[in-house]
Structure 1
């Protein structure tokens, strides 16, 4: 491909485009937020604020985030390669971002758009290309088709590349808006979903295994603010699960920002259950007590729901009958985002979000301590409630709340 020359294109750092000036800027797009009707502005402002906060935590302070109609822009000074990488990684892990691209902003003038397109095209080699124009405003003296034709002709003349509208090596996007025309090529995917914090706070029961971190990720993607609770059996087990959970939360925090993590030593409750509850109901009783403790903590901190990593039929406590019995212990909603997932699906997602390697490190889970040989898979509520009469439930819950750190 013949190199593209841009003798007449001036790259400017001004705040608004004028003739033959192109302002470097990052354009950030969202998907679902655009469907929020009268609430759209609240979602956009939440996303913009989350981006600001994430960049501040990353030490990128000289970046101006601006909310425009249908998109968000990020303007910054000259960064080195490491700062640019940090910036991109920050956007790639911000819920609500569908994709972003490093763009040039120019005036709504075909000559200016042509200069910007040639500049974008000159950043990489290509043999085929396509032009995609979207007009958010209709008061320009040229339409999308005319833009595609003029810009496509200029790029083809400058590069000698062929036009391919089906599967081009390079696609140049032109977004014509009331704020100017954004010209860009390489889209970088974000995680999508809704911005963290747009929904209420929820308490995640995190075990240190594969499933619960993925469940947290899935619900963060729907906009909840996560708070974590981990039950452990130290010193009956090693403290490996405690260390693992701290690192898992740290990894999940790359998406949502810093999150509180509570620890509850569960072994005293397990000893009471071991003493007074038939073997086959032991796991169900563990889970019912955990739910009660989690609900009380959630109420104390203002969380509106509990989140678990349960998947239907995966283990004995996750049959439909047993889950119904377990959730009957509380009145707060229990969100189970993995309920219909295969284990393979969960593993793939864990690998994608960076929690799998941590989750698969060996540790003793508190629910495996004193594990019965044949746990009940079809428990009835009446049987469980009868067994619970042997326990001082309220006392055990209060005891547990007093030991949470």
Structure 2
């Protein structure tokens, strides 16, 4: 919940000042103008969906967003979430606005909003100015600071490391008082860079690499090679939709699903164990290059990190890349696995990625760390261009905006397939999430079984009971329900509190 969202004396409109990513501000005037206009348009499109009366203006060095008085607390929170998830925003500040008048009037205005939180605190006043004025920033800071020191009990000036910082910005004839600063995503606005196609497995690496490309301003389409059936594809669809919806909803993209089972069968039957991983990756690049025609992508994106697994040594990566003249980008190439997991946790994809099965690694036994190009080329002769072209030609190419509904349709969201069986809600969230927001007053008994234990322990549950899987967003529960259905369990569906 936003702190101090409403007060009786607040002005009618609330305003946010948005600062562009620092790399944008040092570019040439024409490039900076293009980035500023793109970011303004992206923010306007997203915020207008929250409320049509929200205004967004680009003022060269900043973007100002003004919110009408009728917005609910939930809408205010949605605005903050959109601003913090849009590429190109360095940071943004919630501010109060006042016309530039005499210092005494401005002091009363500052005290109206800041006096209570400054009591018994150390503080510093920071004034930033733009425009021509008869006073200096130090003049205003000294006056406001002296007034606070005199009028607010228990205050003490501390210029460095103060508990509270009073930030005042003067822009020509307007004064802004910063109430709170929020971190932005950074990066460049979409689509300031060219289009890419990301190879998605749904694990930590591919999801974080896709996020990194979106953050950098590239429209990112998704290509999935189906090795694990409907449950795997459903999971990758969900995580792809989540990344798109959270970080790039202003620009629709495609989700391309290619049935790779026939190609994997060829590899398993004809390729030496030590070369399987490299041959599989080369086959994926060959297919992905053909798939770029569906989305006009200029580069491919993978989640490989140097040395993370045997197929990702520099020698093997060079052999893998030799198969294509298309640019292959690897945003994670020098990152540690824990850093990748930390980013996944930060952007909200960790639970989904953690539950995603890894199929690429299981087809290779004792892989070589230094594959020879000649041996690889000889081994992959069974993977003909015609075979790859046939699979790509029959690929499913889906608008990402329809992806979520299509995934949901695969699992019944009603209470259960057998309404005569006892119903039990199975809370599959992590233990700490269950403790923070426990399920209470539900129509059925609630049992706990975290998602990472579900596959191992579900077969031991009573088969005459129908289990309704629950998680906060419904994404993990759908994915797990699909996986269990695929394994032959019919006594499982998805539970939402709205369906209770």
Could you tell me the TM-score, scaled by structure 2's length?
Answer: 0.72
1:224 pairs with 2:224: no
* 1:322, distance to aligned residue in structure 2 (A): 0.6
- The partner residue of 2:205 within 191, 211, 218 is 211
- The partner residue of 1:246 within 237, 250, 258 is 237
1:184 and 1:99 map into 2 onto residues whose CA distance is 12
1:241 and 1:158 map into 2 onto residues whose CA distance is 63
SS of residue matched to 1:41: helix
Asked whether the equivalents of residues 33 and 60 of structure 2 are also in contact (C-alpha less than 8 Å), the reply is no
* CA 259–301 in structure 1, closer or farther in 2 if over 3 Å, else same: closer
- The partner residue of 2:365 within 368, 373, 378 is 373
* CA 230–56 in structure 1, closer or farther in 2 if over 3 Å, else same: farther
- 1:172 corresponds in structure 2 to 166
CA offsets 1:207-246 (integer angstroms, 9 cap, x no match)? 011111111111211111110011112xxx3422212212
Deviates more, 1:326-335 or 1:156-165: 156-165
1:312 pairs with 2:306: yes
Within a 5 Å distance, the mapping from 1:42-121 to structure 2 comes to: 42-57=34-49, 59-78=50-69, 79-111=71-103, 113-121=106-114
- The partner residue of 1:359 within 353, 358, 369 is 353
Gaps of 5+ in 1: 1-8, 14-22
1:149 pairs with 2:142: yes
Deviates more, 1:63-72 or 1:148-157: 148-157
* 1:114, distance to aligned residue in structure 2 (A): 2.9
CA offsets 1:52-87 (integer angstroms, 9 cap, x no match)? 122234x23221000113111101211221111111
1:338 pairs with 2:329: no
Deviates more, 1:104-113 or 1:31-40: 104-113
* 1:272, distance to aligned residue in structure 2 (A): 1.8
Deviates more, 1:163-172 or 1:212-221: 163-172
Gaps of 5+ in 2: 1-7, 397-500
More relative contact order, 1 or 2 (CA 8 Å, 6+ apart) = 1
* 1:362, distance to aligned residue in structure 2 (A): 4.6
* 1:158, distance to aligned residue in structure 2 (A): 2.8
- 2:23 corresponds in structure 1 to 32
1:305 and 1:36 map into 2 onto residues whose CA distance is 24
Asked whether the equivalents of residues 97 and 192 of structure 1 are also in contact (C-alpha less than 8 Å), the reply is yes
Asked whether the equivalents of residues 122 and 163 of structure 2 are also in contact (C-alpha less than 8 Å), the reply is yes
Q: CA RMSD in A?
A: 2.0
* CA 256–398 in structure 1, closer or farther in 2 if over 3 Å, else same: same
1:389 pairs with 2:389: no
Corresponding residue pairs, total: 380
Could you tell me the TM-score, scaled by structure 1's length?
Answer: 0.88
* 1:125, distance to aligned residue in structure 2 (A): 4.9
1:400 and 1:34 map into 2 onto residues whose CA distance is 45
